[in-house]
Amino acid sequence: MKKSNVTVIFILFLLIGSAGCTDQYRSERDFYRATKLSRNILINPEAIPPREFQRAVNAYKLVIERYPDTWSAKKAGVALGSLYLAKGAYREAREKFEEILGIYPADKNVAAEAKFLIGKSYENEEMWDKAILEYQELIKDYPDTVIGIGLPMYIAQYYEKGKDIIERNRIYGDVIMHYTEISEENPNTEIAFKADSFIAMCYLKIENWPQAVKSLGKLAMDYPMNENIELTLRMVEDISVSKLNSPELAVEIFDKFLKEYPDHPLREHLIRESNRL
């Protein structure tokens, strides 16, 4: 092969190779590198020397400055605040999160995460009264985000510590009402599915088994193809048999499910379980 042909092919390789990378890709690459630098800090922040901490901070700042409009920059902003949070520098952490809220107010998920971490920083400083204010604002402003939808449950779990049964039932009762409202306002949506899942979780938490079975059954009927359907139906069976001693409850739900969805992939399994019960 002639030398000139080899040179042409080599140049072609280089041109093609360098032509591909977009800003988005480069931002992801730099964000990954920054994440690698910060990994040890998050595991054991006390043991990290200041120089290594600063390297991680600089790496995240680089992503934010170079690629401001990318998803990686948003994540880098949150990650930067999280670094300060891990290190116990709560004031600096909150400053970073406030900056994120100021720069990306339209990105609900990023804003919710930043708000949550502000609340977390107050929690870590044992200033629960300030933390709960942040959390309540988050629930009000970003109710349909992943964090927003899960936060009432998180708050309930905080409050239930050291409480008696009556108080726990009251706390989770309020949470159930909140999720019921969300589910009714957003029927047949991802939000409603999550809200219904949390309702079932609340009943399980307060060991209200009849309501737990009822809510799990409703979850299965309303969302038959969700990824956790098998687990949901298994829980219906387990609770009906072991907690309520009423396997006929599970059979009734399975029969209703199969009548509504005769071609469901779990059909054979449910028929087998119904017969066994």
Partner 1 sequence: MKDTKKVSIIGIIWKKTSDTLKNNPVIFIPFCISGVIKLFGLLTVFLSIFPPLSVVFAPIIKTLWGEAYLHYPFNFTLMPNLFNYVQIAVYIFMDGLLTGIAVWMICQVNEGKRANLLISIKRVVPKYCTLTAFLFTMFLIMRLIFSVENFMILKLLKMGFFVSFLEKDSLDFIRVYFNFLIVLIIQAGFAFVIPFAILENRNFFKSISESFSLAKRFIRTILILIVLPMSLSLPVSLLETRLPVLMDKTFPEITFLMLAMGVILVVFIDYIVTASLTALFLLRKGLVFEKE
- If one counts every other C-beta atom within 10 angstroms of the C-beta of residue 141, the result is 14
Radius of gyration of the chain (CA): 25
- Alpha-helical (H) ranges within the chain are 3-19, 23-43, 50-66, 71-87, 90-103, 108-124, 128-141, 146-159, 165-185, 190-205, 209-222, 229-238, 247-260, 267-276
The CA-to-CA distance between both ends of the chain, in Å, stands at 76
Q: How far is the CB of 25 from partner 1 (least distance, A)?
A: 6
Q: Please, which residue, 4 or 275, has the CB nearer to partner 1? A: 4
Q: Please, which residue, 2 or 140, has the CB nearer to partner 1? A: 2
Q: How far is the CB of 66 from partner 1 (least distance, A)?
A: 15
Q: What angle do CA 225, 276, 243 make, to 5 degrees?
A: 80
- 3 near partner 1, judged by CB under 8 A: no
- If one counts every other C-beta atom within 10 angstroms of the C-beta of residue 227, the result is 7
- How far apart CA 161 and CA 130 sit, in angstroms, is 19
Q: Among 8-16, 44-52, 113-121, 129-137, which window interacts with partner 1 (CB under 8 A)?
A: 8-16
Q: How far is the CB of 31 from partner 1 (least distance, A)?
A: 8
Q: Please, which residue, 25 or 154, has the CB nearer to partner 1? A: 25
Q: Please, which residue, 22 or 245, has the CB nearer to partner 1? A: 22
Q: How far is the CB of 52 from partner 1 (least distance, A)?
A: 18
Q: Are 169 and 177 a contacting pair, CB within 8 Å?
A: no
Instruction: Show contacts with partner 1 in window 10-39 (CB under 8 A).
Output: 13, 16-17, 19-22, 25, 28-29, 32
- How far apart CA 205 and CA 178 sit, in angstroms, is 16
Q: How far is the CB of 90 from partner 1 (least distance, A)?
A: 31
Contacts of 201 (CB under 8 A, 6+ apart): 153
- 154 near partner 1, judged by CB under 8 A: no
Q: Please, which residue, 20 or 162, has the CB nearer to partner 1? A: 20
Q: How far is the CB of 82 from partner 1 (least distance, A)?
A: 20
Q: Are 137 and 131 a contacting pair, CB within 8 Å?
A: no
Q: Please, which residue, 32 or 154, has the CB nearer to partner 1? A: 32
Q: How far is the CB of 234 from partner 1 (least distance, A)?
A: 21
# residues near partner 1 by CB under 8 A: 13
Contacting positions for partner 1 (CB under 8 A): 1, 9, 13, 16-17, 19-22, 25, 28-29, 32
